[in-house]
Chain A
Amino acid sequence: MKLMEGFGKYFLMLTIVFRAPEKMSIFRKRLFEELEQIGINSIPLVALMSSFIGGVIALQTASNMSNPLLPTYTVGYITQSSTILEFSPTIISLILAGKVGSNIASEIGTMRVTEQIDALEIMGVNSLNFLVLPKVTAAVLFFPILVIFSMGLSLVGGWIALVLSDLSSTETYIYGIRYYFEMSNVWYALTKCVVFGFIIVTISSFYGYYVKGGSLEVGRSSTQAVVSSSVAILVANFLLTQMILLS
């Protein structure tokens, strides 16, 4: 019952968020702030995660390949397909749900409990549109960039790990990456991460915007925001995989 009510409130919120901004010049300014906050500031974390996980995927594949029947370029192929299909779009989004999601929920939640949102509404500003639309737009625009960046760095991470531990040569690894490379998988990954970016921002904003109480509740709602957006990402991932890959 509570859950259904929550869903209703969430979709109602979306209808208020997605309206034309009151003033384009202010929207543009806010968008650039959010591109920095959500996008640029996430680059170090994404870089770190991607290069290490890419390295680990490559090493584990290489060390498990005792079967001489498998061609040596399999390592590159598997690293490529697993990062592009799942790791970069899904795992990176889950990590960003933690970073970006908690950030957004606590920012908007603090504005709620300190009456800053009331102050916006009093002036006649559509506070949901003003606060959330630039964030959603920034996430939808920048998540694909982050994910492409992550794919590239994972492959580089895998390459460095393999060469350092002498498990494969550069040529074989690159051959493996290019072997059976399907551009449609990249498009699939980008579609997914756009959806995930949307989910993270809107769900976290929802938890922040409707928080009641004080700083304790803000903390709680930001944890709740991360949990709920992560679950939503997993469910959406499952549905999207069914829809796109199996159709």
Chain B
Amino acid sequence: MIEVKHVNKSFGKTQVLKDISATFEKGKVNLIIGQSGHGKTVLAKCIVGLHEVESGEILFNGRDFCKMNRVERTSIRQEIGMLFQGSALFDSMTVEENVMFPLLMFKKMTKKEMHTRVNFCLERVNLTGRNSLFPSECSGGMQKRIGIARAIAMNPKYLFCDEPNSGLDPKTAILIDTLIREITYEYQITTVAITHDMNSVMEIGDNILFIHNGNNWWTGNKNNIISTENPEVTSFVYASEFMKEIKDSIIEKNKNK
């Protein structure tokens, strides 16, 4: 479980995160949603310590990350896997070297054990046998899956995914979403995923945090997000005419019952 308490963050004069508090549960897919540029990525990066927060607490199973020094943080970081918006694969390394990298760096394993682990992770994301490709030779969807394989190589307790399906076609996007959900349930990971895609929200949103202008604007789950009265959330959910029509028809149906 990750708890965020009263976190503030500014860049220069602009305050990007305003007194945000939230809880991300273990074994659940916790979504951070909201419009572009409203602070979702900044929040995730603050939680993992890529940005320093100005005030507030960030607790990983009760351990306050903000108060730790570099060395103490390293031990928590090894429990974190992260999938970046642009995948952030090391482009000078092959697929196998990418996934093996954290193991080489931190695990005392034999070469054989590492290969077994790498192949296991690649199999988990349906990329068996693609070990010797370079990231530039892979499609966007494959790159995301390699990113996931690298993120789970160390058996993380916490998984962060920044817009895991942006830039993908709808079918591949759902594939990635499903993969994230399966991995979360299978290994009981605390997953935090950022998205602005309504398909993902409805597919995997166990818990949902809606960020608006750097505020914790609304929290809920995929079941009550369709019926909420919160104007910002509804305008986000029903952004398209198509969705509005669906909403109307649902309300219509409920009336007729």
Residues of chain A touching chain B, judged by Cβ–Cβ distance below 8 Å, are 22-23, 26, 114-116, 118-119, 121-126
Contact = CB atoms under 8 A, between A and B. Distances in A.
B37 interface: no
B5 interface: no
Contacts of B178: none
Contacts of B73: 124
B166 interface: no
**Which 5 pairs between the two chains have the least Cβ-Cβ distance?**
A124-B77, A115-B88, A124-B74, A119-B88, A115-B84
Nearest to A117: B88
Contacts of B134: none
Interface stretch (B27-35, B98-106, B187-195): B98-106
A122 B48 contact: yes
Given A114-B88, A115-B86, A116-B88, A122 B77 contact: yes
B104 A26 contact: yes
Interface of B: 45, 48-50, 70, 73-75, 77-78, 80-82, 84-86, 88-91, 101-102, 104-106, 154
A23 B50 CA distance: 22
Contacts of A118: 45, 50, 82, 84, 88
B238 to A, nearest CB: 32
Contact of B85 (A23, A115, A116, A122): A115
Contacts of B104: 23, 26
A73 B77 CA distance: 67
Contacts of B85: 115
A123 B80 CA distance: 7
A71 B65 CA distance: 75
B80 A122 contact: yes
Contact of B77 (A26, A114, A123): A123
Given A122-B50, A122-B77, A123-B77, A114 B86 contact: yes
Contact of B50 (A121, A124, A125): A121
Given A23-B105, A119-B82, A126-B70, 19 more contacts: A22-B105, A23-B104, A115-B84, A116-B89, A116-B91, A118-B50, A119-B88, A119-B90, A121-B49, A122-B77, A122-B80, A122-B81, A122-B82, A123-B101, A123-B102, A123-B105, A124-B74, A124-B77, A124-B106
Contacts of B89: 116, 119
B133 to A, nearest CB: 17
Contacts of B75: 124
Contacts of B102: 123
Nearest to B106: A124
14 contacts: A114-B88, A115-B88, A118-B45, A118-B82, A118-B88, A121-B77, A122-B80, A122-B82, A123-B77, A123-B78, A124-B74, A124-B78, A124-B106, A126-B70
Contacts of B74: 124
A116 B135 CA distance: 13
A93 B102 CA distance: 36
A108 B80 CA distance: 24
Contacts of A115: 84-86, 88
A26 B105 contact: yes
Nearest to B83: A119
A121 B89 CA distance: 13
A23 B108 CA distance: 11
A38 B163 CA distance: 37
Of A22, A115, A116, A124, chain B has the most CB atoms within 10 Å of the CB of A124
A171 B85 CA distance: 68
B154 to A, nearest CB: 8
A132 to B, nearest CB: 15
Contacts of B77: 121-124
A125 B90 contact: no
A227 to B, nearest CB: 26
Contacts of B84: 115, 118-119
Nearest to A118: B50
A119 B150 CA distance: 10
A142 to B, nearest CB: 20
A122 B83 CA distance: 10
Given A121-B50, A122-B77, A122-B80, A116 B90 contact: yes
Contacts of B86: 114-115
A115 B82 CA distance: 11
A49 B82 CA distance: 47
A213 to B, nearest CB: 13
Contacts of B88: 114-116, 118-119
